[in-house]
Structures are given as structure tokens and as C-alpha cells.
Chains A and B, each alone.
Chain A
Amino acid sequence: MRVTALLVAVMWLDVLRGPAEGGRSHAPWLVALAGLAGEVAFTALEALAAAAFWRVLGRRARWSELAPRLLVASSAETLAVSIAAGRARLPHVWGLMLAGPRAMESGGPPHGIAAAFATFGVLAIVRMLISAALQARVARATFPAALLMVATMWLVSRLAAWWTFDLLQGRSFQP
């Protein structure tokens, strides 16, 4: 599983390097590495939260087992990011369906709810399904229980993103 996670990390690096090279950045590799570091940090936190959830539910799921699996589950997201960045040539409808509304937006999303759910598409669902399947195996839980946990965590993260966007909108680093 760790080798697969390493391969997914390489996929992330490649996906993030594309937009960085297309932009005005002088060091696209550095931008891609920073993006990968962000993704790994996010996955580490997600694994920490998932481990805590499982423990509260009376199951043992070690962080060190969850983290590489969650990184593997994020492989679906690499494709979504690639579509949203315009690297995968797809009809708009397919892009919208697979990667979510972010694939269609030309400017920034107009409000918090749009920003929070801009990533919701088929590939986001696939990521949740893979994550639930892998976590169910680690925690020795049923797939529906794992899916419920993953979906709850996703929804909570979207709510936090929505509220934070709305509260911060208009600050200097926001559109």
C-alpha cells in the first residue's frame, strides 16, 4: 500500500506541475512540490480525524495504516484536478459531471456555498467510495458504516469551507 501511495504522490506532483508551468511561476517544480506537501498534510490530518472517529466508535484504526490508504483514495482527485485545469480534453458536460462545477468556472466562485461544493462530482464520490472501502478493511467495520463516516467528514469539511469563505470574503487575499 505504501508503494501505491508513493505512486499516487508522483501522480499529484505531475498534475500540479501542469498548471504551475502554464502560469507565470518561475519555479513550477517548487510550486508543484508545495502543492504536494499541502495534499500530504491534508491527508495526514484527514487520517488523524478518521483514526479518532474510529476510536470513538470503538474500532482500532491506526493513523499509520490510514494515511497511505487515504492518499491512494485521493488518486481519483488527481484526475478531477487535471480536468478542472483543462489538461484533459473533455466536453464541458463531462468535465462538469466528473470534476464538479470548478471545471466550468472562469472566475472565482461568487459565494461560499458555490466555493465549498465546487469540487463535487463523480470523481469526488469515487474518492469517498475508495476511501470508505479501504478504511472499512483497516477498521474491520462494515462498508456502509465506513461510507457514513467518510461522507460525514466530507460534509463537515464542506460546511467549514462554506462558512470560512463567506466570513473571509472581501479580505485582501480573496476576490
Chain B
Amino acid sequence: MSPPVRHTVRGELAAMLGLAIATVALAALGLAWWRDGARSYERPKWTPARFVELSPAADGAGERWLVAVNLRCPHCLAHLHALARRIERRARPPALGVIVVDQSVRPARLDLGVPLAAGAWWDSTQVWRERWGRRVYGETFRFDARGRLLSATPAGTLPDSTGSRM
């Protein structure tokens, strides 16, 4: 085989190998995405025993609004503060609380700068991600007094007025 022909064959082999690697990587990504979507998850239900209490709940009679907060996520905290401001003027405000998620160690102290009538809870066993299948930080879970889920809304939305941006 003459050198130019050998060079061309080598180039074609390299191109085919590169595309094959890219195709395998894409297929692996697609498989991971499909498997992730095919998993079935529990409907969220508020069961305090599944979480570690960081600050106690003061009120258990009415609705609880629990925000999934990652402590390194500024928009989660901004949403929590906005929510607190929106409900403070209500005659019967829901009890606001937080679930601290994706936090591998128990937070030493927790001061989020808002009153948390529904308490602060550390999701030490990844219930939020692994059992409920949630992943968007700042999502607000609205539970009734018996712990049943009424709604789950993204950050920036007022939970009992779906679609209403804050």
C-alpha cells in the first residue's frame, strides 16, 4: 500500500472510530434518560418521621407549604422570602416550612431569615429525590392538615393560585 493511500485509510478509520464513540455516548445518554423517565415514584405525602427535624413546627392545624431548598441555591431562598412576604398579610396564612434537600451532612445551624411555622426538615435519606422523584429546587409542596399533597408548584409561583407569578 502506498503512503498516501495508507494515510487516507488511516484517516477514514479515525473518522469512523470518532463517530462510533460519539454514537455510543449518545446512545448511553439516551438510555440513561429513558431509564430515568421510566422509574415510578411515590406521590409526595407529608410524613415528618421520614425527615430529620431541624426546627420544630409550631402549627399543625392548617395547610403546610414546604419549599424544597438547597442551601447553595440562591433562587430557592429568594422564592422562600417572597412566599413569606406574600402570606404574612393573610388573616389565616398557611404554615410555611422548608425541606433541606441534597445536603449530605446535617446543617450545623439554620437561619433562613423567615419564620417557619411548619418547621425546617433535613431530607437525610433523599426522600425528595429518590422516592418522590423530584429535582427542581425551590418547588413548593402544599399539603393539607393530614399530609396529603394538594399541589406542587415551581419557584416563583404562588402555590394556591396556580399560574400566578410572584
Residues of A within 8 A of B (CB): 48-49, 51-53, 55-56, 107, 110, 156, 159-160, 162-164, 166-167, 169-172, 174-175
Contacts and interface: CB of A to CB of B under 8 A. Distances in A.
B100 to A, nearest CB: 13
Query: Looking at chain B's contact residues, is the secondary structure mostly helix, strand, loop, or mixed?
Result: helix
B110 interface: no
Interface residues on B, range: 20 to 34
A49 B29 contact: no
Contacts of A55: 11-12, 15-16
Contacts of A107: 156
Contacts of A49: 18-19, 22
Contact of A160 (B12, B29, B75, B154): B29
Nearest to B73: A172
Given A53-B19, A110-B154, A167-B36, A175 B136 contact: yes
B134 A170 contact: yes
Contacts of A175: 75, 136-138, 155
Contact of B32 (A52, A53, A110, A167): A167
A48 B102 CA distance: 38
Contacts of A171: 135
Given A166-B33, A166-B37, A175-B75, 11 more contacts: A53-B19, A56-B15, A110-B154, A159-B26, A160-B29, A163-B30, A164-B29, A169-B135, A171-B135, A172-B137, A175-B138
Given A52-B19, A55-B15, A156-B26, A167 B136 contact: no
Nearest to A49: B22
Interface in B11-49: 11-12, 14-16, 18-19, 22, 26, 29-30, 32-33, 36-37
Nearest to B17: A52
B72 A172 contact: yes
27 contacts: A49-B18, A49-B22, A52-B14, A52-B15, A52-B18, A52-B19, A53-B15, A55-B11, A55-B12, A55-B15, A56-B16, A56-B19, A107-B156, A159-B30, A162-B33, A163-B30, A166-B36, A167-B29, A167-B33, A169-B136, A170-B134, A170-B136, A172-B70, A172-B137, A174-B137, A175-B137, A175-B138
Interface string B69-84: 0101101000000000
Contacts of A110: 154
B44 to A, nearest CB: 15
B102 to A, nearest CB: 8
Contacts of B12: 55-56
Contacts of A56: 12, 15-16, 19
What 4 pairs across the A-B complex have the smallest Cβ distances? A170-B135, A55-B15, A163-B33, A52-B15
B15 A51 contact: yes
A171 B102 CA distance: 9
Contacts of A156: 26
